[in-house]
Amino acid sequence: MHDALKSSSGYHKELDNALKDDFLRRTLDTFAVAYRANREAVFKDVDERALIHKIAEAKDYACQHLEELYTQFKAEAEKRGVHVHRAATAAEANEIIIRIAKENNVKRVTKSKSMTAEEIELNPALEAQGITVDETDLGEWIIQLRHEGPSHMVMPAIHLSRYQVADDFTKATGEKQDSDIQRLVKVARVQLRRKFIAADMGISGCNFAVAENGAVSTVTNEGNARMVTTLPKVHVAIAGLDKLVASLDDALTALLVLPRNATAQRLTSYVTWMCGAGPCGANADNKKIMHVVFLDNGRTQIAKDPLFKQIFRCVRCGACANVCPVYRLVGGHKMGYIYIGAIGLILTYFFHGKDRARILSQNCMGCESCANVCAGGIDLPRLIREVRSRLNAEQGAPVEANLLSAVMKNRKLFHRLLKFASFAQKPFTRGEPFMRHLPMAFLGKQGFKALPAIAGKSFRDRWPDIAPKVEKPVMRVALFSGCAQDFIYPEELEAAVKILAAKNVAVEFPMEQSCCGLPLEMMGQRRTSMDVAKQNIAAFRGGNYDYIITLCASCAGHLKHHYPEILEKDYSTVEAQEFAAKVIDFSSFVHDVLGLKPEDFNNSGQKVTYHASCHLCRGLGVKKAPRELIADAAEYVPCEEEEVCCGFGGSYSVKFPEISAQLLENKLTHMKETGADRLVVDCPGCVMQLRGGAEKKGLKIKVDHIAELLAENLKK
């Protein structure tokens, strides 16, 4: 896996292999579904958002006062008999720990789970010195036997079946082991107990390092960490500098979220605080030899970065992987290097090489699931986009990305090319809404869905003929079309115009508008993304609109949230904020602003289900409006996993078609199970994905935009 991350072809081969692993798929599916329900249940008794805010504040404070807290921790810990070290690099951390081992004639080490130890590749470093290292966390021991890295930060062996574990235990013990889980646990206990007793040194991780009293903590479910930290004569705790917190109260606040996020528990079985070197019968003076090694490895530089300093808020709960639709399909060995999930894509850039980070950072579709559950409120999607942007700036962007960027920057050229494509496609569409007649050689891995035809006449070209004349408007709005609805699905915009005009809303369509720029941002083309943003803001300048309405959830999120971000150091910051403040998605406008109710519609009784577009339900937090509107105009039939990504993700479906296809397959399966006649969404990208998939499979279900459903059933 690690070598595969250095080449795109190798990485895609690894993804294909993971998708063919039926056990992995079943296991991660089961876990993902159960996790969401269980997490929701354990957060019912707490104010999740308030807690996350408090954690963010405490960790931000620690980041800003890093040197001060380190000095305080060192002084307090040394008062209590603890030796405190600071390592600038991974190599230096390993050297310090090896030196401690040699000074104490250590031959055998037991370890409890530590992602920091994984980061510095401590085990190989110790073993190279002739020191035996035994992992004692059950999952870590299993993957050690297999010579693998963890596939999850909290559950490192989640990717393995009990049959695989039984085979590994058979090899380790020299005795045939059956696959009964309880028996396997007993075997592990017997084997590990011997290792605890024989160990000369225990090495643990550290969940929190408390400056006010020099205490370190471990948070576990197995109790092995207590054996590691108490039985051997020497204990070394290894902690990243980001584990420093000012007070015990700060740590305890984080503990209210960490287990809930990690394993959907209110509290783990063992939370241990070690404040000073405690008693130890293995030493002549009955005193533990205790060391704490703090690892920098780039952390002080991260702390100085105005954007990436958010990383210090991470508590290593693994929730960003737990809710990630890509992780759910391929597992952690394909969604990280050492650290996995969304945070892993970011940390790889800082800790383990930009060659690995370039490939990994692309395997994020921007669904924003991770941002919604992060214990520290880290804007993970934004940081991943920033990694892509910095990699392009540092290493250069791919040729195809540069070409697309150049085209999209030039609005007139971009639109001329789309119009030309509309003409050039005719041999492949033959008047149909899909490109049914493309040679298979052209499709490649895109054959999992029917590709849409470009409209014969774009919305901007239709606008002069359909622009409504409203005599006494209640408000003035402008439409932001985005690329897909302007050139592929203009009928969606026409449906919206029909509704708005019927409710006495004056509608305008600024002709100078272009692509919102989100595809550019996702490709790491920051400079062009900024240029396009400025062009669009200029296109709506002077209109004095009450609202800027878009029928594309992705456009809405980008216009509203990302424009002020990417232009925050630019002259147009204030104007970007004013522009963003007027942006609203179609469903919210119709439901919340216009206040349409059941009496405004002729309820068709048609069974209609819904797919919640990622950037609407999570990016914008819009959940109630579209579902109530559907129920007003038809019979709303809820769909399983409505808020799970459909797999489109813009250019993601082109870069990672194997994953996109599987997410689409899952979504179509749930859609069929509803028995609905129709599926509606709030995003043309989702329409493209789901309609194309349904067409390819020959499903008798209509897929379109919610605006079309509402327009059809609007009372005259």
What are the angstrom distances between the C-alpha of 685 and each of 186, 448, 690, 691?
A: 51, 15, 9, 10
Q: Which one of 558, 593, 628 terminates a domain?
A: 593
Q: 624 and 530 in one domain?
A: no
Give ∠ CA 688-524-533 in degrees, rounded to 5. 75
Domain boundary among 564, 593, 622: 593
What pLDDT is recorded for position 427? Answer: 67
User: ∠ at Cα 681 (412, 498), nearest 5°?
Assistant: 65
- 105 in a domain, yes or no? yes
Contact 682, 706 (CB under 8 A): yes
Answer yes or no: is pLDDT of 568 > 90.
Answer: no
Residues contacting 171, CB < 8 A, separation 6+ = 145
Tell me the whole-structure pTM to 2 decimals.
0.93
Average pLDDT over residues 612-639: 97
Spatial separation of the C-alpha atoms in residues 527 and 622, rounded to whole Å: 30
User: Confidence band (pLDDT; 50, 70, 90) for 404?
Assistant: confident
DSSP-derived 3-state class of residue 508: strand
Q: What confidence tier does 444 reach under pLDDT thresholds 50, 70, 90?
A: low
Phi-psi region of 286 (alpha: psi -120 to 50; beta: other; left: phi over 0): left
Residue-wise pLDDT for 482-539, tens only, equals: 999 999 999 999 999 999 999 999 999 999 999 999 999 999 999 999 999 999 999 9
The token duo for 49 is 């958002």
What is the pairing mode between strands 132-135 and 270-274?
unpaired
The values of phi and psi at residue 595, to 5°, are 70, 35
Q: Quick check: 238 and 117 in contact, CB under 8 A?
A: yes
- Domain-embedded: residue 382: no
Q: What is the pLDDT of residue 438?
A: 46
660 and 676 in contact (C-beta within 8 Å)? no
Lowest mean pLDDT, pick from 24-33, 198-207, 415-424: 415-424
Instruction: Judge if 257 and 222 occupy the same domain.
Output: yes
- Is 430 part of any domain? yes
Confidence of residue 262 (pLDDT cuts 50, 70, 90): very high
Q: Taking residues 156-171, what's their average pLDDT?
A: 94
Q: What pLDDT was estimated at residue 447?
A: 80
Q: Are residues 627 and 581 in the same domain?
A: no
Cα(314)–Cα(294) distance, rounded to whole angstroms?
16
The CATH number assigned to the domain holding 687 equals 3.40.50.1860
DSSP SS3 for 394: helix
Say if residue 373's pLDDT is above 50: yes
622 touches 585 (CB < 8 A)? yes
What is the extent of the structural domain holding 103? 64-301
Residue 344 has pLDDT above 90, yes or no: yes
* pLDDT exceeds 50 at position 249: yes
Count: domains in the chain: 3
169 and 256 both lie in a single domain: yes
Residues 628 and 678 placed together within one structural domain of the fold: yes
Whether 306 maps to a domain, the answer reads no
In a domain, 486, yes or no: yes
The reported pLDDT for the residue numbered 439 is 47
The reported pLDDT for the residue numbered 426 is: 66
Report CA torsion sign: 522, 525, 526, 532: negative
Q: Which residues of 73-100 are buried (b: 16+ CB within 10 A; e: fewer)?
A: bbebbeeeebbbbebeebebbbebbbeb
Tell me, what's the pLDDT at 432?
Answer: 67
Q: Are residues 706 and 586 in the same domain?
A: no
Same domain, 134 and 260: yes
pLDDT of residue 430: 59
Same domain, 459 and 557: yes
Distance CA 562, CA 574 (A): 13
Q: Decide if 690 contacts 452 (C-beta within 8 A).
A: no
182 pLDDT above the threshold of 60: yes
Please check whether residues 555 and 682 belong to one and the same domain: no
Q: How many CB atoms lie within 10 A of CB 467?
A: 14
- Considering the domain architecture, whether residues 185 and 89 belong to the same structural domain is answered as yes
What's the CATH code of the domain at 242? 3.40.50.10420
Half-sphere exposure (CA, 13 Å, Cβ side) for 447? Answer: 9
CATH of the domain at 498: 1.20.1050
Whether residue 340 lies inside any domain: the answer is no
What does DSSP assign to residue 242? G
Query: Cα(first)–Cα(last) distance of the chain, in Å?
Result: 61
- Give yes or no: residues 620 and 511 share one domain: no
Q: Residue 277 pLDDT more than 50?
A: yes
Last residue of a domain, one of 301, 330, 355: 301
The chain-wide mean pLDDT, for the chain, equals 93
Please write the tens of the pLDDT for every residue from 651-710: 899 899 999 999 999 999 999 999 999 999 999 999 999 999 999 999 999 999 999 999
Q: Helix (H) and strand (E) counts for the chain?
A: 39, 18
Angstrom CA distances, 715 to 33, 47, 502, 563, 599, stand at 40, 42, 9, 37, 8
Residue 440 is predicted with a pLDDT of 46
Supply the pLDDT for residue 9: 86
pLDDT at 571: 66
- Matching residue, tokens 């305080």: 72
Q: What is the pLDDT of residues 427-443, one digit of tens each?
A: 666 566 766 544 444 45
Cα separation of 7 and 13, whole Å? 10
Whether 2 is in a domain gets the answer no
pLDDT at 365 over 90: yes
Q: Which helix (H) or strand (E) holds 294?
A: strand 289-295
Residues 90 and 224 in one domain: yes
In a domain, 374, yes or no: no
Helices (H), 558-713: 563-566, 573-582, 586-588, 614, 624-633, 652-655, 657-673, 684-697, 706-713
Which amino acid is present at 145? Answer: L
